[in-house]
Amino acid sequence: MYRRAFLNLLPSKFSKEGLLYLPNSYKSPQIVHNARALSLSVANQKKRKSPEERAIENQGRRVIRYAPKAGTEVVGIWRNMTVQEIANVLKKDIDHVFKALEFADKESDIVYKKNTVIHNPQIIRDIVKISGCRFKIIAKPKEELEEEENKDAVPAPPAPVEALRRRPPVVCVMGHVDHGKTTLLDALRNTSVVETEFGGITQHIGAFEVHLQSGDKVTFLDTPGHAAFSAMRSRGAHATDIVVLVVAADDGVMEQTVQSIRMAREANVPILVAINKVDKPGVDIERTMKSLAQYGVVCEALGGDVQSIAVSALKRLNLDSLVEALIVQAQMMELKADPGGYVEGVVIESQVDAKVGKQATVLVQRGTLRQGCIVVAGTGWGKVRILKNAEGGIVTEAPPSTPVVVLGWRELPAAGDVVLEVPSEKRANEVMRWRHNQFMKEKQQSDLEVITVKAAEHNALYREQLMKRRAMGRFRVRATGPRDKMIQDDGHPTLSVLVKGDVDGSVEAILNILETYDEHHTVRLDLVHFGVGQLTPNDLEIAEAFNAVIFAFNVDIPPALAVEAKQNNVEVKRHNVIYKLVDEVKQLINQKIPTTQQEELLGEAKVLQQFLVSEGKKKVPVAGCRCTKGTLLRQALYKVIRNDQVVFEGKLASMKHLRDEVTSIKNDTECGIRFDDTSFDVQPGDIVVCYKLVDVTHTTEWDPGF
């Protein structure tokens, strides 16, 4: 009471020394220091304003009095949000945000719309508070790829009829291996390509133009007939106008012949049959045509609508008739294309040359490809630097139906990719980014499916182990040894391979063959790396790390790398024929298959009686036997069979004939044998089997299909 009264009078009662005696009680005084600060505090209390005065001053100011309670929903916000984005995170309609803005931003004259960006973060926070939510600062979510504008390059709309011009036909030569496809093409263009093919087998698609005596041009595609190159034949059928089905008159319809017919029908391409090797004696052309009729290819000679010409590519017989039939078929189809506008085409083959770098064979289907054009194909793009024809000569342009080798790729495309011209490098980079994003999205989706399956398996295993621990009364499994001992190898034999090929199509064919290997075989086959082009130091490092075998298909190995591979014990297998490569893979798999031991019967004996013989101070059992089959050997293994059950397995301690120790007993000879286990007793009538264990090697059951 006295202190409060004194504080009211304090400003007029200070002494000159700054000290003041203040009665703390009725009897004892207390000295108060720093009386000046105390006086200022009292002065501020006297200046305190009334609630009415504070309300007048706060008029026009932004005052938010609502504070969300703990436990309310938390929403994520970020800088520079639009009105629509705020409504989305609050899960409110747009009108709610507009009403909240009337309280959160009274001073501004901005007319808010749903796409208006709010730059003041305090306004965003206030809107969230008014809506009864709490907030947390997060990064702005990235837009989904589906919501992005499709920035991919697409083919142009069909050209008007007045812009179309006549173009040469594109002919694909297909058929079974060794039926003379390449020899037929050699005869048409007067070359000898077949001599350069390894084993007489075409390893990849060859694209070239043939100038006929009539002045017409025809583009030919020579596809491999081997079973491993089915993907190449399919691409050839889909990229051509006419399919020439070569059938040998002496062999008739074979497996790849039927496959070529099916691919031509899937591509909706007309078929022209060339019955080859008619110069051989004893051939039956009519039988060959009847065999084709069984698969729906009915020749004109049998009342059908498919042209068939009997030719001999080796003797150059009836080649004029074949060319005439091709030209007639092309004229009936009225093949035309627009030579102007942006270029469209397809990649026939791609490879990495050690001298010129990345190159791809492109079949132009629309437009005219020239030097300086910027093209995209799959995940690769480039600016055309050089154009080469099939003979290696440099050309300045390639009109429709022309195959050319394109140099200047920044990233190498894959065989079968669609080639599209774009106006600028900026546009090409934009297309590549969009395609990369789409690829990564698809990969993430596929990875998510695998992760989900693995997680389900892990959870099932965890629950199983958890139930076991609970049943045993344990809550923790302790390690039984060091961590490196806990990492266990499954002991499964594995063959790791690394594949390098000359062209993309060859690598594709090899990988398709390796995919046919069943993972449930005894030996696991792991593909650690693959690529196009000659071997690089990086390939050696990968092979050394995984203890892999390198298969170089029709590619060169630099001498320095060959020496390094030998020093690092890296096996490099070079091949130029695909079935020989597959045979060596099978041999390496057979070497990895562990051998098993199998019993080899040496002889049998019948127990006549058991005797107890003194040996020192002990009595040991001896079986008196007669050899009934084969020979009994002293150092072999033995087992005793009683009532069709094995009652003993082991070795002998002694074998005697009469009183002599012997090493073998022949058929129909009596003997006494003592087993190394003296506790085992034989019975009359037991069968003693003498055998040895031999190692048995196994071969893989993998059948790649050829």
Mean pLDDT of the 397-418 span: 88
φ, ψ of residue 103 to 5 degrees: the values are: -95, -35
E-strand stretches of 545-644 = 549-553, 572-575, 596-615, 618-630, 632-633, 637-642
Among 2.60.40.2380, 2.40.30.10, 3.30.70.100, 3.90.950.20, name the CATH number for the domain at 596-696: 2.40.30.10
Is residue 207 predicted with pLDDT exceeding 80?
no
What is the distance between the alpha carbons of residues 61 and 501, in angstroms, rounded to a whole number?
A: 76
Integer Cα distance of 401 and 216 in angstroms: 13
Using one digit for the tens of pLDDT, what is the confidence trace for 317-340?
Answer: 888 888 888 888 888 888 888 888
Looking at the predicted structure, is the pLDDT value of residue 354 above 80? no
**Is 3.40.30.10 the CATH number for 163-337?**
no
What pLDDT score was predicted for residue 7?
Answer: 41
Q: Label the pairing between strands 357-366 and 403-409.
A: antiparallel
Q: What is the pLDDT of residue 554?
A: 84
**Same CATH fold assignment for domains 344-430 and 596-696:** yes
What pLDDT was estimated at residue 550?
A: 92
Q: What is the mean pLDDT of residues 201-222?
A: 69
pLDDT at 171: 85
Q: Alpha-carbon distance 590 to 521, whole Å?
A: 11
Provide the percentage of residues in the chain whose pLDDT is more than 90.
Answer: 20
pLDDT band with cut points at 50, 70 and 90 for residue 145: very low
Which pLDDT score is estimated for 200? 41
pLDDT tops 70 at residue 8: no
**What ranges in 516-558 are assigned the alpha helix state H?**
537-546
Q: What are the φ/ψ torsions at residue 193 (nearest 5 degrees)?
A: -65, -30
pLDDT score recorded for residue 26:
38
Cα 254 off chain centre by: 33
Does the structure show a pLDDT above 80 at 102? Answer: yes
Nearest to 540 by CA among 562, 520, 555: 562
Of 247 and 210, which is predicted with more confidence? 247
DSSP 158: P
CA distances to 49, 56, 692 from 46, in Å: 9, 19, 116
Q: What residues does each domain of the chain span?
A: 70-137, 163-337, 344-430, 494-592, 596-696
522-535 burial code (b ≥16 CB/10 A, e <16): ebbbeebbbbbbbb
The per-residue pLDDT for 670 is: 92
Backbone angles phi, psi at 98, to 5 degrees: -60, -40
Identify the sign of the CA torsion 628, 631, 633, 639: negative
Over the chain, what is the mean pLDDT? 79
pLDDT at site 427: 92
Using a pLDDT cut of 70, give the percent of the chain over it.
Answer: 80
Q: Is 430 left (phi over 0), alpha (psi -120 to 50) or beta?
A: alpha
Encode burial over 76-88: b for 16+ CB neighbours within 10 A, e otherwise.
ebeeebbbebbbe
Q: Are strands 397-398 and 403-409 parallel, antiparallel or unpaired?
A: unpaired
Residue 30, pLDDT score: 40
In terms of pTM, does the model score above 0.85?
no
Answer whether residue 197 shows pLDDT above 50. Answer: no
What was the pLDDT predicted at 473? 61
Supply the pLDDT for residue 202.
46
Spelled out in words, what is the top-level CATH class assigned to the domain 344-430? mainly beta
3-class SS letters over 347-406: EEEEEEECCCEEEEEEEEEECCEECCCEEEECCEEEEEEEEECCCCCEECEECCCCEEEE
The confidence score (pLDDT) of residue 651 equals 92
Most confident of 100-104, 144-148, 440-444, 627-631: 627-631
50-90 pLDDT, tens digit per residue, is 544 554 454 444 444 455 666 578 899 998 899 999 999 99
- Extract the tokens encoding 272: 């022209």
Helices (H), 210-354: 230-238, 255-266, 285-293, 319-333
Residues 501, 206: Cα–Cα separation, whole Å: 16
Give 552 or 250, the one with higher predicted confidence. 552
Among 478, 373, 362, residue whose Cα is nearest residue 423:
373
What class, spelled out in words, does domain 494-592 have in CATH?
alpha beta
Closest CA to 189 of 149, 222, 233, 227: 222
Neighbours of 259 (CB within 10 A): 18
What pLDDT is stored for residue 491 in this prediction? 62
pLDDT score for 665: 93
Residues whose CB is less than 8 angstroms from the CB of residue 183 and which lie 6 or more positions away in sequence, other chains included? 194, 276, 313, 314
Q: With bands split at pLDDT 50, 70 and 90, how would you rate the model's confidence at 637? A: very high
Query: CB count, 10 Å around CB of 416?
Result: 21
| CA–CA separation, 294 and 273 (whole Å) | 14
Long-range contacts of 66-69 (CB under 8 A, 24+ apart): 66/129, 66/130, 66/132, 67/129, 68/129, 68/132, 68/133, 68/134
